[in-house]
Structure 1
Amino acid sequence: MTGVREAALARRSCSKVTDAAPDSAELLDLVTAAGRVADHSSLRPWRLIEMRGEDRAILGRALNKADGKKGVSSKAMRAPVVIAVVAAYRKSKVPRWEQEAVASGVAHLLSLLLDDAGWGVFWRTGEHTRSKKVAKAHGLRKNEVLLGWLYVGGKPEKARSSHRKTIDPTAFVGRMPGAR
C-alpha cells in the first residue's frame, strides 16, 4: 500500500471491471479501516450490504421493478461485487445531514482503500437509490436511506496506466470575506 496522499492522487473511478474480486475477508479488513472516518459522537450511522452472485440478481430484479420492467437489470451485473452504502440514522443531537456525511465518508474512504489495494471501483448513484422497491430489496429500515453502490472488481490493464487530471487547489480554497 502507498501513502494516503499518493493513494488519493492515484485514485480513479473504474467504470468497467474484470471478474476478479476481493474476497469477503479482504473486504472486511478494508471496512475496518474505512470505519475510522471522522464520526461525531461515534454513532456509526452507516452499514454496507455486500452483494455477490445471486444477491446481484436480486438487486437487478429490484432495479427493473423500479422501472416497471421484468427480469434482471444488467446494471447489477457490471461487477462481481456490489456494495450498497446505507446511511443508518441514529437518534442523536448530531443532525441527519452530518450522519449522512459520515456514511458518505465511509463509502469514499472504502473506495480509496479498494483502489489502493488494486481493485477497480466505481460509486454509482441515481434515482433508484430512493426507490421504494429497491429499498425493500435491500431490507432498509425506516431510519435508513440508500446512498448508492460501490461496484468492485478487477482493474483492467488500461485503467492501471491512465491518470486523472489533478485540480488547481487555488480555485477551491479561499479566505473569509473581509479577511486580510
Structure 2
Amino acid sequence: MRPALEAALVRRSVSKVTDAAPDDAELLELLGAAGRVADHASLRPWRVVALRGEARDRLGSALALASGLEAADPRGAAKLATKPLRAPLLLAVVAVHTPDYAKVPEWEQDATAAGVAHLLSLLLDEAGWGVLWRTGPYTRHPAVSAAHGLRPNEALLGWLYVGGKPERRRVERLKPIDAAARLTTLD
C-alpha cells in the first residue's frame, strides 16, 4: 500500500494521551512538511503557536473568562479551565489573513490553514504521537486571542492536543467511508 494512503487509513484521534510530547526540533520537521499543502498564491496564511507548561494554564483561564461562567457557575468555569491540561502540548492553528487580497479570499486562506492542521495531525500520528483536533465556541473570543498573542489579522481555528499514545489503548473500528455516496461525477 502507498505510505500516504496507509497513514490516512490508520489515523485515529486519541483523546487520552501520556505526558510525553514531541520537542521543537521534531515539530519543526513535521511543520515543514505540513506547510506543503495547497496554497493559492503561496501566501502561507497560517502559523502555529505551541503551548506547553504554564501557557496551558493561561489558556484555561482565558477559556473560563470567555465562557462567562465564572460568576454564574464557578465549577463549570473551573472545569473548562482544566481542558488545556489534557495534553502536554497544544498546537494552536492560526489563520493569518492577508486583507484585501482579492485573488485569495479569506475563506481560502482559512482553508489553507485548516489543511496545514489536518496534514500536521496526520504526520504527528504517523510519527507515533496521539493527536486530537479540538475547536469550540471560544476560539474567536478576545481573551482567547490575547492568550495566544494573536494580531488583528489572525484567527484561531482550534488546537491540536498532542501527547504520547498510551501503551494500551482501545482501538476503535471506524465505520468505512462510503466514498461512492460522496462522489459526484459530471460528464
Query: What TM-score does the superposition give when structure 1 sets the normalisation length?
Result: 0.92
Q: 1:158 Cα shift?
A: 4.0
Whole-angstrom distance in 2 between the partners of 1:6 and 1:173: 21
Query: What TM-score does the superposition give when structure 2 sets the normalisation length?
Result: 0.89
Q: What CA deviation, in whole Å up to 9, does each residue of 1:67-111 have, x standing for no partner?
A: 232768110100000010100011422111111000000000000
Q: 1:162 Cα shift?
A: 3.7
Q: 1:157 Cα shift?
A: 3.1
Cα contact 1:12–1:163 (8 A) shared by 2: no
Whole-angstrom distance in 2 between the partners of 1:145 and 1:50: 15
CA RMSD of aligned residues (A): 1.7
Residue in structure 2 matched with residue 64 of structure 1 by the alignment: 64
Residue in structure 1 matched with residue 88 of structure 2 by the alignment: 80
Whole-angstrom distance in 1 between the partners of 2:180 and 2:133: 27
Whole-angstrom distance in 1 between the partners of 2:84 and 2:171: 26
How many residue pairs match? The answer is 176
Residue in structure 2 matched with residue 132 of structure 1 by the alignment: 142
Residues 159 and 10 of structure 1, relative CA distance in 2, 3 Å threshold: farther
Query: Structure 1 regions of 5+ residues with no counterpart?
Result: none
Query: Structure 2 regions of 5+ residues with no counterpart?
Result: 71-76
Cα contact 1:86–1:147 (8 A) shared by 2: yes
Moved over 2 A (4+): 68-72, 157-166
- The SS at the match of 2:17 is coil
Residue in structure 2 matched with residue 26 of structure 1 by the alignment: 26
Sequence identity of aligned pairs in percent?
A: 61
